[in-house]
Amino acid sequence: MSLVGKRINFDGNLGTVLYEGPVTNSKVIWVGVQWDDPSRGKHSGEYKGVKYFTPTVENSASFVKRDSPALVVGQSFQEALIKKYILKDEQDRKNEEPVYWGKLVEKVGFEKIDKKQSHLNELIEVGLDFQNIDRALAENESKGKIKEICPSIEELNLSENLFTHWDDVFDILAELEQLHVLFLNKNKIDATSLKNITRNSNAKFESIHTLSLNKSINEWETVCDLEPYFPCLEIMSLGFNNLSSLLPPLQPNQFSALKSINLEYNNFEDWKVIEATLGKLPSLENLKMDYNQIKMIKYTPDTFKILSRNPLNDTVEPATNFRIFVIAQISRLEQFNGSFVPKNDSLESIPIQTVQSAELNNDVTDYFLRDEKLKPLNDKIFSILKANNINHINNIFEMDDDIKTISHYDLSDKDMIIVTV
């Protein structure tokens, strides 16, 4: 069986096979691999002036021997599940074969597997990341086997596996009717395979509301092609994908249920690109854009109508106020921003800090107003806060958890906190 086009694991490093055969006059069969981690590569598919293949990323490839014991090809979801959740004692692991399901069953025994298999029915959260999975079923198994042995899975992590075709992923999802959360991070599934779905062309995985594809796609078009299969998505994560465009635009009603989308660590430069595609989504409440290249945001009316907790302020508190807050926090501070701090400045800052803390109408308060620090600070200065409660007016609740910061309580502009002595 040729490995060209397949994904492999070589000594813990994942890659895609682009060539299999001799190199120069060697009788040894070599495999040309483009590595997921480009830094592992040594060349771009050539050896002694002869070009054997071309990787998509320059200098991300190398050759490995086809018969190397370090080279591992894919296994089925079923095999990975059995190995991780049934073969746990040392004796079972000694009998374990890395690839061939038939030999694994023969050595471990059907009785032992059948006896323990009942525990799989109870699994709700399953982690099969980095398990060399490239398909749904083991050799000679028929459709329906996954549903039979683990019907209760609600959260599934299939990150960093060896899938090459979306149909193979869909084969698994089609049998997990209770699945709500799916992680497919760090997979290199061929995007063009979405144009050639045969076994699951009419599938709709309506139970899945959360999908994570960090470090898994290269183009927004892939997301658009996936949407018909996940019509009820509410949360989607697309971080670390080098995205800079959101074309083609969404069709009417696509992602109509989407409430949160994560686009962190991409390469977006123009806010209009984001606004044009996502601004009209009717359910979108949360948009994460950290670590992109956007330099300016100009809000257009009637876009992102229910987006919340994403304040865009026209003004920023003067740096002098921030200086006061910093001095108030650090009692022994001698210099701030290159200038000396008079000794009595620290004491003069305290009343201002306390007053500003009462009404949260400026952004800088979040730098110093953390409940676990506010209590001892006031207690030290005034010796009056022996026991205190901090309440939110109208929606009253105690802020009595010293681990949580003010931002946890979702305070808005003009909200107030009350310190009861």
CA pair distance 151, 166, nearest whole angstrom? 21
Model confidence pLDDT, tens digit, residues 134-193:
999 988 888 999 999 999 999 999 999 999 999 999 999 999 999 999 999 999 999 999
Sign, CA dihedral 305-307-313-317, equals: positive
| Contact present, 55 and 90 (Cβ < 8 Å) | no
| Contact present, 163 and 7 (Cβ < 8 Å) | yes
Query: Could you tell me which residues are beta bridge partners of residue 30?
Result: 21, 65
Model confidence pLDDT, tens digit, residues 397-419:
566 555 455 555 556 565 666 66
Q: Note every long-range contact of 326-334, with CB atoms under 8 Å and residues 24 or more positions apart, other chains counting.
A: 326/367, 326/368, 328/352, 328/353, 328/368, 328/377, 329/353, 329/368, 329/373, 329/377
What does the pLDDT read at residue 322? 61
What does the pLDDT read at residue 358? 43
Cβ neighbourhood burial of 226 (10 Å; 0-12, 13-18, 19+): middle
What does the pLDDT read at residue 1? 82
Which domains does the chain show, CATH number per domain?
A: 7-72 (2.30.30.190), 75-288 (3.80.10.10), 319-419 (no CATH)
Query: Could you tell me which residues are beta bridge partners of residue 9?
Result: 14, 72
Neighbours of 337 (CB within 10 A): 9
CA pair distance 56, 212, nearest whole angstrom? 24
The pTM for the full model equals 0.71
| Contact present, 162 and 7 (Cβ < 8 Å) | yes
N residues, the chain: 421
| Contact present, 189 and 163 (Cβ < 8 Å) | yes
Residues 6+ apart with CB under 8 A from 316: 363
Cβ neighbourhood burial of 121 (10 Å; 0-12, 13-18, 19+): exposed
CA pair distance 393, 389, nearest whole angstrom? 12
CA pair distance 196, 80, nearest whole angstrom? 26
What angle, rounded to 10 degrees, do the helices at 77-85 and 101-108 form?
A: 30
What does the pLDDT read at residue 299? 83
Q: How far apart are the first and last CA of the chain?
A: 77
Residues 6+ apart with CB under 8 A from 375: 385, 388, 402
Model confidence pLDDT, tens digit, residues 81-104:
999 998 854 445 555 554 444 555
pLDDT along the chain (421 residues), means of 10: 95 97 92 97 96 97 97 96 77 51 48 62 95 93 92 98 98 98 97 97 98 97 98 98 96 96 98 96 96 91 83 52 64 70 56 43 42 49 42 54 53 61 43
What does the pLDDT read at residue 328? 64
